[in-house]
C-alpha cells in the first residue's frame, strides 16, 4: 500500500534486505513474525485474562485472547482498507506488558512504583518492544528491542502520551479492578523511542491502526467473557436480572445510562437471530449455537463500525489520516455485554479475596528482589541493575523482572525468595 511511505517503514536501526534465497516479506510482515517469536508473547499463555489460566482448561488466557483480538483486528483492517499486518501485530502485542494476575497485578505494581514514575501495562509493552526484548542493538551497543517499523510501533501505543500529559483515571478494567492508575503509553526513560515513533503524529491522537486494535480488544472480550460465563454455568442469557445488570453497567461503565436506553439495547441484541431461546446445556448443538452467537455479534459490531467509518472517511483509513467511527448504538451494545459478564462473573467474593492475596504476594516479591539485587534477577536484567544509578532506576529493573513473570512463575519466585 503506497499510503505507508518510507517514514512508516523506517526502523530505529536500518536493516539490509534479507538474503536473496529467503522468502520475500514486507517490512510489516517481518514485524508480525518478530512479535510471534518474542519471549514475552509466549509468556502470555500463562498469564491471567479474567480468571487464572490454572483454574480451568477451557478458560481464556492472555495469549488466546490476544490471538482472538488479532483475528478481529486483521479482518476489520482489511475491510476498511487499512494495513492488516500492522493492525494484527498491534493486537498480538497489546497485552505484552501486562504483569502476573492481570489488571490486579498492574494495580499492585503501580502502587509500588510511585518512586520511579509508576507502572502501566501499555507503557511496559512499548518498553518490551523497544528495549527489553532481545533482537537488535544500535551502534552504541544499546538494545532497541525488536526494532519494529515506525507504523507498527505507533499502532501498538494505545495511549500516545506520557504520565505527565495523561488524563485522570476512571472506570474499571475488563476484569473488574478499578482504574486507579493513570493510563499512559511511555515511561520517562523510554522517551527517545516514544519521540521517534511519534514523528509527525498529531499530539495525543492515536493512529487509526491503534484504534482498530483497541476496538477489536473491546469487541473480543465483551463477547468472549459472556461466552466463557455461559459455558461455566455462571450466567443464562435467557434469564437476565436486568435491574442488577443495569446497575452494574452504570457503576462500572456508563453512569448516565438510563433504563430505557439499556432496555432498548438488550432488545436489539435479543433480536439477533442466534440469541439463545433456551438455556445452555453443554451439548454439541448448544455449543454450536453459542459459537454462532459470538460470531454473529462480532460481525454485527465490526460491520456497523465499517459502515460508519466509510461514511465519514475521505480516503483510506491509514495512520493519522482518518478516525475510526463507532456508532453510539454499537458502543452501548458492547457495554451491555460487558455489564452482563461483570455482574455474573467478575463480582464474586472469592475473586476479591484472591486479588488481595495476589497484591500482597507481588509486594513481597518486589521487596525480596530489591534486597537480593543482581543475584535474584534473570541474566538478561543483570546489566541493567549494574548500570542503574539511583534507587528509582533499580526499582524499575525489579519491576521489569516481576512484570515478565507468569502467574505460576510469580508464585514460584515468591516461594523461593521469601521461604
Residue spans of the domains in the chain: they are 209-350
pLDDT at residue 313 is higher than 90: no
- In angstroms, the CA 256 to CA 273 distance is 29
Residue 19: predicted pLDDT: 64
Residue among 39, 41, 44 at smallest CA distance from 407: 44
pLDDT at residue 174 is higher than 60: no
Q: Residue 349 — pLDDT band, cuts 50, 70, 90?
A: low
pTM, rounded to two decimals: 0.92
- On average, the pLDDT of the chain sits at 92
Residue 36 or 172, more confident: 36
pLDDT at residue 244 is higher than 90: yes
Q: Residue 59 — pLDDT band, cuts 50, 70, 90?
A: low
- In angstroms, the CA 302 to CA 219 distance is 8
Would you tell me how many other CB atoms lie within 10 Å of the CB of residue 11? 19
Residue 243: predicted pLDDT: 97
pLDDT at residue 199 is higher than 50: yes
Residue 46 or 347, more confident: 46
* Nearest-5° Cα angle at 263, 260 to 269: 145
Residue 52: predicted pLDDT: 46
Taking residues 399-408, report their average pLDDT.
96
Residue 120: predicted pLDDT: 96
Per the CB < 8 A criterion, the answer to whether 351 and 51 are in contact is yes
Q: How far apart are the first and last CA of the chain?
A: 56
pLDDT at residue 409 is higher than 70: yes
Dihedral pair phi/psi, residue 178, rounded to 5°: -70, 145
Residue 3 or 230, more confident: 230
- In angstroms, the CA 309 to CA 301 distance is 12
pLDDT at residue 397 is higher than 90: yes
Residue 355: predicted pLDDT: 85
Point out which residues pair with 70 in neighbouring strands.
Answer: none
Taking residues 5-30, report their average pLDDT.
86
Q: Residue 406 — pLDDT band, cuts 50, 70, 90?
A: very high
Taking residues 219-241, report their average pLDDT.
94
Per the CB < 8 A criterion, the answer to whether 305 and 326 are in contact is yes
Residue 374: predicted pLDDT: 96
Per the CB < 8 A criterion, the answer to whether 207 and 319 are in contact is yes
Q: Residue 60 — pLDDT band, cuts 50, 70, 90?
A: confident
| Lowest-confidence pick of 56-65, 330-339, 395-404 | 56-65
pLDDT at residue 58 is higher than 70: no
Residue among 104, 122, 121, 125 at smallest CA distance from 41: 125
Taking residues 83-109, report their average pLDDT.
95
- In angstroms, the CA 193 to CA 131 distance is 9
3-class SS string, the chain: CCCCCHHHHCECCCCCCCCCCCCCCCHHHHHHHHHHCCHHHHHHHHCECCCCCCCCCCCCEHHHHHHHHHHHHHHHHHHHCCCHHHHHHHHHHCCCCCCCCHHHHHHHHHHHCHHHCCCCHHHHHHHHHHHHCCCCECCCCCECCCCCEHHHHHHCCCCCCEHHHCCCCCCECCCCCECCCCCCCECHHHHHHHHHHCCCCCCCCCCHHHHHHHHHHHHHHHHHHHHHHHHCCCCCCCCCCHHHHHHHHHHHCCCCCCHHHHHHHHHHHHCCCCCCCCCCCCCHHHHHHHHHHHHHHHHHHHHHHHHHHHHHCCCCCCCCCCCCCCCHHHHHHHHHHHHHHHHHHHCCHHHHHHHHHHHHHHHHHHHHHHHHHHHHCCHHHHHHHHHCCCHHHHHHHHHHHHHHCCHHHHHHHHHHHHC
pLDDT at residue 135 is higher than 70: yes
- In angstroms, the CA 273 to CA 299 distance is 13
Taking residues 234-251, report their average pLDDT.
96
pLDDT at residue 170 is higher than 70: no
Q: Residue 102 — pLDDT band, cuts 50, 70, 90?
A: confident
Q: How far is CA 128 from CA 38, 133, 144, 390, in A?
A: 10, 5, 9, 21
Residue 62 or 190, more confident: 190
Taking residues 110-133, report their average pLDDT.
97
What would the grid cell of residue 182 be?
A: 493513570
Point out which residues pair with 186 in neighbouring strands.
Answer: 162
Taking residues 235-239, report their average pLDDT.
96
pLDDT at residue 53 is higher than 50: no
Amino acid at each position: 500500500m503506497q499510503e505507508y511511505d518510507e517514514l512508516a517503514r523506517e526502523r530505529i536501526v536500518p536493516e539490509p534486505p534479507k538474503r536473496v534465497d529467503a522468502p520475500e516479506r514486507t517490512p510489516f510482515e517481518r514485524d508480525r513474525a518478530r512479535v510471534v517469536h518474542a519471549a514475552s508473547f509466549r509468556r502470555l499463555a500463562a498469564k491471567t485474562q479474567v480468571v487464572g489460566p490454572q483454574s480451568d482448561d477451557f478458560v481464556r488466557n492472555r495469549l488466546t485472547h490476544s490471538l482472538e483480538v488479532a483475528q478481529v483486528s486483521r479482518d476489520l483492517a482489511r475491510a476498511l482498507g487499512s494495513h492488516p499486518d500492522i493492525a494484527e501485530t498491534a493486537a498480538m502485542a497489546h497485552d505484552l506488558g501486562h504483569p502476573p494476575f492481570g489488571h490486579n497485578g498492574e494495580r499492585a505494581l503501580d502502587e509500588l512504583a510511585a518512586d520511579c514514575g509508576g507502572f502501566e501495562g501499555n507503557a511496559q509493552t512499548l518498553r518490551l518492544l523497544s528495549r527489553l526484548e532481545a533482537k537488535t542493538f544500535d551502534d552504541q551497543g544499546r538494545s532497541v528491542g525488536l526494532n519494529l517499523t515506525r507504523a507498527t510501533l505507533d499502532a501498538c501505543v494505545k495511549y500516545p502520551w506520557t504520565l505527565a500529559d495523561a488524563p485522570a483515571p476512571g472506570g474499571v478494567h475488563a476484569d473488574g479492578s478499578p482504574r486507579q492508575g493513570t493510563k499512559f503509553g511511555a515511561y520517562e526513560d523510554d522517551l527517545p523511542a516514544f519521540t521517534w515513533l511519534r514523528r509527525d503524529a498529531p499530539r495525543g491522537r492515536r493512529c487509526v491502526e491503534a484504534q482498530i486494535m483497541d476496538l477489536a480488544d473491546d469487541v473480543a472480550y465483551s463477547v468472549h467473557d459472556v461466552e466463557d460465563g455461559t459455558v461455566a454455568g455462571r450466567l443464562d442469557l435467557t434469564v437476565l436480572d436486568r435491574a442488577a445488570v443495569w446497575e452494574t453497567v452504570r457503576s462500572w461503565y456508563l453512569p448516565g445510562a438510563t433504563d430505557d436506553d439499556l432496555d432498548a439495547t438488550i432488545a436489539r441484541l435479543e433480536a439477533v437471530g442466534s440469541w439463545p431461546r433456551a438455556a445452555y446445556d453443554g451439548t454439541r448443538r448448544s455449543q454450536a449455537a453459542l459459537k454462532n452467537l459470538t460470531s454473529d455479534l462480532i460481525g454485527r459490531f465490526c460491520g456497523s463500525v465499517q459502515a460508519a467509518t466509510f461514511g465519514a472517511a475521505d480516503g483510506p483509513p491509514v495512520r493519522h489520516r482518518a478516525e475510526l467511527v463507532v456508532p453510539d448504538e454499537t458502543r452501548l451494545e458492547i457495554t451491555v455485554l460487558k455489564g452482563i459478564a461483570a455482574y455474573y462473573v467478575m463480582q464474586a467474593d472469592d475473586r476479591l479475596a484472591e486479588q488481595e492475596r495476589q497484591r500482597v504476594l507481588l509486594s513481597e516479591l518486589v521487596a525480596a528482589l530489591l534486597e537480593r539485587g543482581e543475584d535474584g534477577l534473570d541474566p538478561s536484567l543483570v546489566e541493567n541493575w549494574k548500570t542503574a544509578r539511583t534507587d528509582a532506576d533499580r526499582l524499575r529493573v525489579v519491576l521489569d523482572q516481576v512484570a515478565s513473570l507468569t502467574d505460576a512463575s510469580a508464585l514460584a519466585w515468591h516461594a523461593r525468595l521469601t521461604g
